[in-house]
Amino acid sequence: MSDFDTLCKQLEAMDTETFTEIFNELSVEVINEMAKITLDGGDALESYLQFILATVAADGKLSEEEFELLKPIFDMITEEDTTYQEGVSIFKNMGLDSPDAYKEIIDTMVDVIGLVSEKTKDDIIMLCLLVCAIDGEVTQKEKEWIAQLALPLTIDVTPMEYIDAFLTKAQVFTLATTDGDQPRMRILGLKLNLDDKIYFGVGTFKDVYKQLKANPKCEILASVGMDFLRWDGKAVFSDDPRLLPMLKAVMPELAQMYFDMGWSFGFFTLEGGSAEVVNVSNQKIKIF
């Protein structure tokens, strides 16, 4: 018997009081961690609920045991004392009995899994296992479902999608260059995603543009909570005509100011480097 099967057996045999205590404790921790990578607490709660309900849907039904475990969550969402039948209705209204909707939820969950720490990922997987085991059996379908979450983040998320999502959450990031033998750093907030490449924009009249032209080796640093993204490589400038309209769409005031002043942008991406996410405990997730 594998370690995973042994864990499933242990959870299936766990008493209700211990079961509920662990589930509630992990739920609070996971929701708090998800709040760090979503827009607000409501988004975090919705993401959490998607994980849980999609796990329930792995065997196609919401059992009464599963509902009783999740009842506080249903009550929180509806702001009412939810009955089992109402829980089933919510389950169906979320489209969990529709293959297409179910695929969209899986994609969302994989995206979220790719942004959280390894500990939070483990907590999410444990929560899903607890949901599967509450009725006394983790079925083969449920085990296969859990396996999808445990696979590497590269399944449905490209490295650039991962980096783009991290930078979006960070909002601002640091670009490090060199000026002769002197390091230089400045804050950026502009990024454009085109053809699975992330482009940054700087004024061609600025020192940073001259520095990148003289020595294209540079690094992007961004932080979200206690996690840091480091992405290094060589700056490769592009004159793709699609980039300027994209800039005008996301930062119209900045684009207008440059137009009024007669300035121009230099758009560049990084090539030939590496990227990783590191937390304060020096745990690393290598992106490429």
pLDDT in single tens digits along all 288 residues of the chain: 456 777 777 787 777 788 888 888 988 888 888 777 665 555 677 777 777 777 777 776 778 888 888 888 778 778 889 999 998 888 778 766 654 555 555 555 656 666 667 788 788 888 888 888 888 888 887 887 777 666 543 334 678 988 988 898 899 999 999 999 999 999 999 999 999 999 999 999 999 999 999 999 999 999 988 889 999 999 999 999 999 999 999 999 999 999 999 999 999 999 999 999 888 878 788 888
The residue ranges of every structural domain in the chain are 3-150, 159-286
The reported pLDDT for the residue numbered 38 is: 62
Residue matched to tokens 């995206």: 111
The reported pLDDT for the residue numbered 253 is: 95
pTM of the predicted model as reported, rounded to 2 decimal places: 0.51
What gap in Å lies between CA 70 and CA 67, rounded to an integer?
Answer: 5
Provide the strand spans (E) within 40-156.
Answer: none
Distances in Å between the Cα of 181 and the Cα atoms of 184, 215, 248, 265 are 10, 11, 35, 26
Pair of tokens at residue 97: 């009995």
What gap in Å lies between CA 187 and CA 234, rounded to an integer?
Answer: 18
What gap in Å lies between CA 178 and CA 280, rounded to an integer?
Answer: 26
Q: Domain 159-286 maps to which CATH number in 3.40.50.300, 2.30.110.10, 2.30.30.280, 3.30.230.10?
A: 2.30.110.10
What gap in Å lies between CA 72 and CA 83, rounded to an integer?
Answer: 11
Nearest to 145 by CA among 65, 54, 61, 64: 54
| Contacts by 94-97, CB closer than 8 A, 24 or more apart | 94/50, 94/53, 96/53, 96/54, 96/56, 96/57, 97/57, 97/60
Beta-strand relationship, 217-224 and 173-179 = antiparallel
What gap in Å lies between CA 13 and CA 258, rounded to an integer?
Answer: 66
Provide the strand spans (E) within the chain.
Answer: 173-179, 182-188, 192-194, 197-203, 217-224, 227-238, 265-279, 284-286
Residue matched to tokens 């032209």: 213
